Structure 1
C-alpha cells in the first residue's frame, strides 16, 4: 500500500477494485490519437480505472476518501460491461494496518456514482448493511437528493441498495464542510450536479483530490472532460479554478481512478516534477 506520511498526517491508498471503461467516453470530444498518447487502452478501447479509496489518518481520526466498488455487488453482465477484473480488498487492507471497518470514523464521498459508492454497503445474511458501521458519511445535499431521486439518465448509476443501508449515517451540506480542521469537502458540480472535491491542508502543504473532474493525470488539460459529465462547463470552470489554487499552493494532486499514479505534482509549466506511483501495477493491452 502506497503512503504519504507527514508529522500528524498519513495518507494510505487501499485496494477498492478496478473497472475498465470506454476510453472515448472518459475523454469526451478529445480525439483518440490525442488521449491515447497519455493513457493506455485495451483491444476493446477500454481504459483501466482504479477505484482505490484513500485512508486519511489525522487528529486521531480514521477517514476514508471514497469507498471502492465493494464485493459481490455486480452481476456477471455488469462485470463484463464495466470491465471489473478485481473487487475490493479494503477489509484485508485495514486488517494489515491493525484496523477494522468499525474503526472508520468518517467517509467522505465526492459523489455517489456506483464506482464510488458501491463499497458503502454489503450483504449480510440476505440483508444490505453498512460496510463502515460506525462512520459518519458526508456528501453534498444536492448529490444525496439526486441519489435518492435519480432521473432517467442518472438512474443507471445511483442505486437504491447503495443508499438505503446507510441513510441513517449520512450528513449533507450545501457548499462546503470541514469535518476536522484542514480536511474539507467543497461542492463544485460538473461531473454530477452534487459533485465535490477534497482540499486537505496540513503543515503548510496542500493536497487536492479533484475526483471526477480530473479523474486521472491524463485529464489535466481543463478542456479534457468526460462524456459522462452532466455539466461539462462547470467541470471546466472548476478544474481551472482549483488548478490555479493548486499552482499557488504548490499542491499535490491525489487520485482515486488513475491506473499508474497515486499522487502527482506539476510545476507552473504543467510538467510532472514529483509523483508517487502505484506499486506493481499491471496493464494488459
Structure 2
C-alpha cells in the first residue's frame, strides 16, 4: 500500500464559523486569522494505492463554478487536483474508487468536471463513487443551513452515469480501508480509517477540520447537530488515543498529521508531522 497527500488548493472561511461558540481570544492562539476574521483552510485529499485499487478520498472544490462564487471563498495557493495527481503519475482514468466523505462543495466539487463540449461529466470515468445513503437523502432534502452548500452539478452527473454507490452503514471498501459513518457535522459523513502496515490513519474530514478542533467542545457552527458532534468526538477520541491512531487533517493549512495524548485536561494533540514521516 502507498499513501499520497493530494493538495487541491486553499479557501478562506470565517473563523467564528469554524470554531463556533469558542471565543476568538481562545481559538486565535491556535489557528491564525486575518484582519477580517478569515482563517485560511486547505482542501487536502488522500490517495491510496493498493494491489488492485487506486482510491481517492474527497476531491476538493473543483473549477467549474463561477468566478463570482469562487470570489466569495477567497481561493488561494497554486495547488489543484489535476496538478497533484499528475505529480504522482496518476491519471483520472486510473482511479478506481472515490470516497466522498459528504457533499458540501469543498469536499466534492472536483468529482465532476466540464467536458470539451461544456457538458458535465464524472471526473473519474472508471471509478465507483462511494457516498452514504444518509448523506444522499440529506442532499435531496436539505435543511435550511445546508441548502446553500449542496450543488446538484457536483453529484447528479455521477448518479446519472451509474457510478454512485450508496452505503447504509459502517463497512469496508477493502481489508485496509474502513468507511465509518458520523452524523454530527452532517447526516452520513463518512470518515475513512486506513490500516497502513502497523499504523492506523484517520482521514478526519469535518469531524476534526483542523488540529485546533480536537477538544470535544470545539465544534464548528457549520455542524447541524453540535451536541451530537461533541458526543461523537468524545467517543472517537477515546478510541483513537487508546489505539494510537494518527489523525490526517483535510482542512488544516499548518498541520497535516498528529498523534493524540491523554492529559489532565483531556485528550490533546501530541506529536505533529507531515504524512511523509509516517510512510
State the Cα distance separating 1:89 from its structure 2 match.
1.9
Q: Is the 8 A contact 2:131 2:165 kept in 1?
A: yes
| Matched residue SS, 2:54 | strand
Per-residue Cα deviation, 1:90-135 (whole angstroms, up to 9, x for no partner) = 2222222222001111111111100101010111121001111111
Distance (Å, rounded) in 1 between the aligned partners of 2:275 and 2:132: 29
In structure 2, the residue matched to 1:5 is none
Distance (Å, rounded) in 2 between the aligned partners of 1:208 and 1:81: 30
Distance (Å, rounded) in 2 between the aligned partners of 1:55 and 1:225: 27
Q: Is the 8 A contact 2:8 2:84 kept in 1?
A: no
In structure 2, the residue matched to 1:282 is none
In structure 2, the residue matched to 1:115 is 106
Can you give the 5+ residue segments of structure 2 that lack an aligned partner in the other structure?
A: none
Per-residue Cα deviation, 1:193-243 (whole angstroms, up to 9, x for no partner) = 121211122333211123212100000100000101101111111111111
In structure 1, the residue matched to 2:81 is 90
Q: Is the 8 A contact 1:51 1:256 kept in 2?
A: yes
Q: Does 1:165 align with 2:157?
A: yes
State the Cα distance separating 1:15 from its structure 2 match.
1.9
In structure 2, the residue matched to 1:62 is 54
Distance (Å, rounded) in 2 between the aligned partners of 1:117 and 1:53: 10
In structure 2, the residue matched to 1:211 is 205
Q: Does 1:186 align with 2:186?
A: no
Q: Does 1:79 align with 2:70?
A: yes
Distance (Å, rounded) in 1 between the aligned partners of 2:274 and 2:248: 11
2:137 corresponds, among 130, 145, 149, to: 145
Can you give the 5+ residue segments of structure 1 that lack an aligned partner in the other structure?
A: 1-8, 280-285
Aligned length: 270
State the Cα distance separating 1:65 from its structure 2 match.
0.9
Backbone CA RMSD of aligned residues: 1.8
State the Cα distance separating 1:272 from its structure 2 match.
4.2
The within-5 A match list for 1:1-285 is: 9-71=1-63, 73-86=64-77, 89-124=80-115, 125-167=117-159, 168-269=162-263, 270=267, 272-277=269-274
Evaluate the alpha carbon distance shift between residue 173 and residue 271 of structure 1 in structure 2; reply closer, same or farther with a 3 A threshold. Answer: closer
| Matched residue SS, 1:221 | coil
Evaluate the alpha carbon distance shift between residue 220 and residue 271 of structure 1 in structure 2; reply closer, same or farther with a 3 A threshold. Answer: closer
Q: Is the 8 A contact 2:211 2:269 kept in 1?
A: no
Distance (Å, rounded) in 2 between the aligned partners of 1:152 and 1:33: 30
TM normalised by structure 2 equals: 0.91
